[in-house]
Every structure is written in structure tokens, then in C-alpha cells.
Amino acid sequence: MKAERHIGGRFVRPLLLILFGLASCPVIAGDELDTCHADAMIVFDASGSMGTSDYSLKIPRIQRLKQAMARVLPEIAPYRRLGLIVYGEGAYNDCSSIALRMRPTSNAAAPMLRIIQSINPRGRTPLTQSVRMAAEELGYTQHEAVVVLVTDGEETCGQDPCKVAAQLKRRGPSLTVHVIGYRDEQLQGYFTARCMADETGGQYVTASTEEDLVKALRKALGCPLLTMAPSAVPGSP
């Protein structure tokens, strides 16, 4: 009998921990699960300001974003196809400097990170047209589509991000745009591009450090079941 109680204890305790963890996780709706696995396009800011450093840090903004991407993409890529649009790499006054660098691809982490490491910030911020191109690449009128815009500034090429986001949402109700506003922590407020998230049911997340960027990217690109699972069971790494 002692042996039976000992064996039972060995197996019951882990089972209780697992059940406790599952019970503490929020219920994820079916449509949210679908969005977790929908193809996603990252819209990457390579405007000139990304080459600058903030007051308290000597590392250029773009370097911190590259480092954050290197940490997050390998976590997400096995679960969803990822693509990449980069804006701002052209001449300073070139508002057409928008490049589709990768179409939605399975297991995209390694090739995408090679592209990201080669990006040099130079030009302006045609973020509105970039988001439109990302949505079109995803076939947003026919499919679930997720766009994640990372920007450290405002639209500088004359388009209205709020108006365009509303138009895109009317044509593609399953489109979601998340916006990561990357700015110095001493600055208050948020970027106008926040409305692109508001109009499409997405999230607007502010970030000023590499750790902030990692959290924001995980929040925008990751499925709740994936991001919550490691900490759901007490004692898990």
C-alpha cells in the first residue's frame, strides 16, 4: 500500500499541475485560433530616423529592432507563414521606396533574418502604402490576413493611414493590422498610425527598448496559446 501511495503521488502531482495550468489559461475562441495561424506580413521601417540613436542609448534604433526580430521570428515561424515588406531604403525623397522582400513563406525565420540584417535605413516613411501592399499580398479580401507594422514615425508621403485602413477593412473584414510604435521613452503620446489598428481591430503597442520590441512582436505575431503555454504550468522553464 505504501508503494501504491508513493507511485500515485509521483503521477498525481504532475497531473494536477498540468490541469491547474490549463484551467488558468483563458479560453481561446475559434476565430482567434484561426488568426493565430493566418499568414502575416511584417512591414519594416527602414526610414532615415531608424539609423539614429535615442537619448539614453548609443545603439541605433534599427539595430535594436534587428536584435528583437532575431529573438522572436524563430519562435513564430514554425507556426505561421511570414512575409516581409521594407520601406524607406531608397533615396531620401523617394516615396516609392517600398519593396516586397519576401512573400509569405513557411519556416521563414532564417531567410528573413538574413534579409533584415542587410537592411540600411535611408529614406522617407510611406507606411500607409506599405500596409496596403502587405494586405494585397496576403489576398486580404479573400483570406484571413494579419499585417504587423513597425514604425518609429509618422506617414511622410501624403497619404491618410486612417482613411486607408477603414477602406481596407470594408473590403476585407478579415484583415487585422497591428501597429508597433517604436519611439524614445521620453516622448509621450502615440503615432497617428495607431488608427490603422483601431480601424481593423488590431493592437497598438508602444516600444522603446529591445525588450519592449520583443514583447510587442510576440504580442502581435504570436498565438496566445503559444505565448502563454510556457508559463501556464507552475515550475515550467
Q: 85 in helix, strand or coil? A: strand
Residues 56-104 pLDDT 10s: 667 889 999 999 999 999 999 999 999 999 999 988 889 999 999 999 9
Residue 183 grid cell: 519611439
Q: What percent of the chain has pLDDT over 90?
A: 66
pLDDT of residue 96: 94
Per-residue confidence (pLDDT) for residue 76, from 0 to 100:
95
Residue 171 has pLDDT above 50, yes or no: yes
Would you call 36 helix, strand, or coil by DSSP? helix
What lies within 8 Å, CB to CB, of 96 at 6+ separation is: 90, 126
Asked whether 139 and 39 are in contact (CB, 8 A), the reply is no
More confident residue, 126 or 10: 126
pLDDT in tens, 189-236: 679 999 999 999 999 999 999 999 999 999 999 875 454 444 333 333
- What is the predicted pLDDT for the residue at 90? 82
Worst-scoring range by mean pLDDT, 102-106, 132-136, 152-156?
Answer: 152-156
pLDDT at position 63 is 95
Name all domains of the chain by residue range, CATH numbers in brackets.
Answer: 29-223 (3.40.50.410)
3-state secondary structure of 206: strand
What confidence score (pLDDT) does residue 52 get? 85
pLDDT tens, position by position, 34-52: 557 899 999 999 999 998 8
Q: What is the pLDDT of residue 1?
A: 47
| Model pLDDT, residue 16 | 39
Percent of the chain surpassing pLDDT 70:
76
Helix pair angle (161-171, 127-137), 10° resolution: 10
**Short-list 44, 72, 89, CA closest to 210:** 72
Position 232: which residue type? Answer: A
